[in-house]
Amino acid sequence: MSGVLVGKKAPGFTAKAVFKDQIVENFSLESFKGKYVVFFFYPLDFTFVCPTELHAFQEKGDEFISRDAQVIACSVDSEFSHFAWLNTPKAKGGIEGINYPIVADLNKNIASDYGVLKEDDGVAYRGLFLIDKQGVVRHQVVNDLPLGRSVQEAVRMLDALIFHEENGEVCPANWQNGDKSMKPDQEGLLSYYSS
């Protein structure tokens, strides 16, 4: 499967994962229904840009929790590789201190289902999927391997989704929580530009 998943049910999976310093045998995306999920892929454990991203998501952890969102990471490594990396100090390139789940996708089925598998070398692109409480993908972005993503942008998109669901209004370009929104019609657009 590839292409745009926005507006579609997020592909389900049950896989091994590392969570709270334990290996979980049957970690399931379905178990998070009723919460927002920020599901992101990274290429490989023990690499270079990847730990900066995992730590950046951890640093924003309280912001995701306060919005009833669960962060979940995934790569094509085994659960044993995740566990070893999680037990490696940050100063040595590790991800010690990460407390959200990291899914093992050794058979590469999850990356393939989400359309982020880089076929030529078998790793995942830096894909990020914002999944709503009903399990529908509402936002996706995919970066090439050398391009680290903006975790603040993931928070902004989550805020925009929550605002829209609660208020029925839409969020214009560069909208930040607290900014002016608009009604989704011509009158709303004209009102937005006139103020």
Whether 50 is catalytic: yes
Closest by alpha carbon to 55, among 93, 22, 103, 29? 93
Q: Which of 50, 103, 111, 161 is catalytic?
A: 50
- Give helix then strand counts, H and E, for the chain: 6, 9
CB neighbour list of residue 184: distance below 8 Å, 6 or more residues apart: 168, 169, 170
* Contact between residue 145 and residue 124 where contact means Cβ atoms under 8 Å apart: no
3-state helix, strand, coil in the chain (%, to 5): 30, 25, 40
Residues serving a catalytic function are 50
